[in-house]
Structure 1
Amino acid sequence: MKLSYSMAMGAAAALAAPAFAADATLKLELPQLSVAEYHKPYVAVWVEKASDQGFASNVALWYDLKKRDNGGAKWLKDMRTWWRKSGRELQTPIDGVTAATRAPGEHVIGLSAAKGLAALPPGNYQLVVEAARENGGREVVRLPFDWPVKAPQTAKAQGEHELGAVALELKP
């Protein structure tokens, strides 16, 4: 009786576990711009449902964390798309999501540990990347993907000014 109970509990735990066994990586390039006054961009990365662009989960948020009294947060609304979808309702910084701004260059975000991805129900989604820069522009790119990952997937986009190459790689 004990053996069957523990086997049943193990099976239930396995079924309750998230279906997140995928290796997920986002590579994004922040281009070096030749401008008189360069400021590192604020960047937001989140997941939307492909069908209606409804918000699903925050993945990364880069902004100026060192300003006194969380002063950098007041500029988050310059990332207008993210702000309307999720940002205005959040208390920043977001544990496990928020980090400091990044310098120009290629950056890699390992998404395998992202809590928001693990909780996604099966379906079609978009990973959205938005960048906004003080005294600069704003840009949004979308990368489609299917969840859960059953076969390797790659999605690429090319920004025009605030973002360079952006690539999402998913492997089961």
Structure 2
Amino acid sequence: MQIRLTGLTATAFGAGALVAGPAAAQTLDLTVTIPKLSVAEYHRPYVAMWLEKEGVAPRTIQIWYDVDKKGGEGTKWLRDVRQWWRASGRSTSFPADGVSGATRAPGPQKLRLVGGRGGMPTLSPGNYTLIVEAAREVGGREVVRLPFAWNGTSATAAGKGSTELGGVSLTLKR
């Protein structure tokens, strides 16, 4: 996978929210579990993950959708991931390299994001919320919010959905 930002800059997450330099390398390990559902018609969910910090514009860090649909047709369903769409999706250009990815199969999906690469900003200390939203065709929608305090060294948070998302956890460390 090529990692290149499209239309995103260091200031996209707000002035003073980012720290520069190799000494500030941060790693965010995420696990998002997509439950196996016993339904007549199953479609993999579109999933969006973004960070919010009070007073700063939301920052999309991952969006999983049908990237292979001919003519970019998969993007027309992104607006069904409603909260993300309202927060930052409608202003994003697709595909956004380092952020866009294909839908995922049921099971735990593990991600490692490095601050300053792809869609992952380098975070300054403060209170954040990671939001994970899933929407599935012929299915439902669900949002899991993980508030966490980043002290510049480490942070952890975990939560669980009840239908479209299973367990969601994060570990952030320098």
State the TM bucket, normalised to the shorter chain.
0.7 to 0.9
Matches of 1:148 and 1:69 in 2, distance apart?
44
Quick one: which of 65, 68, 84 aligns to 1:66?
68
1:42-81 matches, within 5 Å, as 42-49=46-53, 51=54, 55-81=57-83
* Equivalent in the alignment of 2:165: 163
Q: What do you get for the CA RMSD once the two structures are aligned?
A: 2.0
Query: Displacement of 1:23 after TM fit?
Result: 2.7
Task: Give the 3 Å change call, closer, same or farther, for CA 66–146 of structure 1 in structure 2.
Answer: same
Unmatched runs of 5 consecutive residues or more in structure 2: 1-18
Q: Which has the higher helix share?
A: 1
Task: Give the 3 Å change call, closer, same or farther, for CA 45–123 of structure 1 in structure 2.
Answer: same
Matches of 1:33 and 1:93 in 2, distance apart?
28
Paired residues, number? 155
Query: Displacement of 1:146 after TM fit?
Result: 2.6
Q: Is the 8 A contact 1:20 1:118 kept in 2?
A: no
Q: Is the 8 A contact 1:139 1:162 kept in 2?
A: yes
TM-score (norm 2): 0.81
Task: Give the 3 Å change call, closer, same or farther, for CA 78–108 of structure 1 in structure 2.
Answer: same
Q: Is the 8 A contact 1:40 1:102 kept in 2?
A: yes
Unmatched runs of 5 consecutive residues or more in structure 1: 1-14
Determine if the alignment matches structure 1 residue 26 to structure 2 residue 30. yes
Task: Give the 3 Å change call, closer, same or farther, for CA 121–69 of structure 1 in structure 2.
Answer: same
1:6-155 matches, within 5 Å, as 16-17=20-21, 20-49=24-53, 51=54, 55-113=57-115, 115=117, 116-147=119-150, 149-150=152-153, 152-155=154-157
TM-score (norm 1): 0.82
Bigger Cα Rg: 1
